[in-house]
Amino acid sequence: MSYVLHYAPDNASLIIRLALEEMGVPYRTALVDRRRDAQRAPEYLALNPNGLIPVLETEHGAIFETGAILLWLADRHGQMAPAPDHPDRGALLKWLFFVSNTLHADLRMTFYPHLYAGTDTARQDAMRGVLRGRITGHLAILDELFASQPAWLGGAVPSILEVYLACCLRWLALYPTETDRSWFSLAGTPHLQACLLRLEQRPAVQAAREAEGLGVTPFTAPRHPHPPEGSAT
């Protein structure tokens, strides 16, 4: 069977779409309509009881959690990551989990502060202030990684880490829409910026742009999406 990617435009499913496109494996999409809270519908919760996007349906069952899906695809198709027995495997894993468990987690708290700080806006603002400092530090560490040019990064084909990080940087520049983001500047991390410039030339990114209405420069100068179906929020 081909894979089924349960997605919403400009959500974490975008990361998986990019990986699938890079790997050139067949898949189809199933829209999770966030305007109707479809991620909380019984049929979706049967695939992912956490009610989060994405889910990838495979012949072996449904897989959720972005990092888990990426690793499963990379290992199954032998692409975009060092093989399990490769000396660089540990390096890929530690940075992938850093982006997944640390950077992405902090982004989620920034985007949805009410889920963590309650409805008190002063508490939300205070939490965001702490998170901005943390995220700035995370990006500085990652920029140093890319500056060191390890063999498994920056190759002819991007790694799963690169597509994951590219989406995180896109979202930092766009969301949440009602807050000041002047604290974030992609130019402050030039090696990450160079990575995003390379990615934007990839056919996989061009396919994702068209599918989700992301615009011509979805990572280096992103704009809010105008998807042909569904909504990013």
- List the pLDDT tens digit at each of the 233 positions of the chain: 689 999 999 999 999 999 999 999 999 999 999 999 999 999 999 999 999 999 999 999 999 999 999 999 999 999 999 999 999 999 999 999 999 999 999 999 999 999 999 999 999 999 999 999 999 999 999 999 999 999 999 999 999 999 999 999 999 999 987 677 888 999 999 999 999 999 999 999 999 999 999 999 999 999 999 999 998 88
Q: How far apart are CA 55 and CA 69, in angstroms?
A: 8
State the sign of the Cα–Cα–Cα–Cα dihedral 170, 176, 178, 181: negative
Task: Determine whether 192 is exposed, middle or buried from the number of CB atoms within 10 Å of its CB (0-12, 13-18, 19+).
Answer: buried
DSSP annotation of 76 reads H
pTM of this prediction exceeds 0.85: yes
Q: How far apart are CA 163 and CA 12, in angstroms?
A: 11
What's the pLDDT at 233?
81
DSSP annotation of 101 reads I
What's the pLDDT at 177?
78
Q: So where are the chain's domains?
A: 89-202
The amino acid sitting at 112 is Y
Distance (Å) of CA 116 to CA 109, 119, 121, 123: 7, 9, 12, 10
**Residues 89-202, CATH architecture:** Up-down Bundle (1.20)
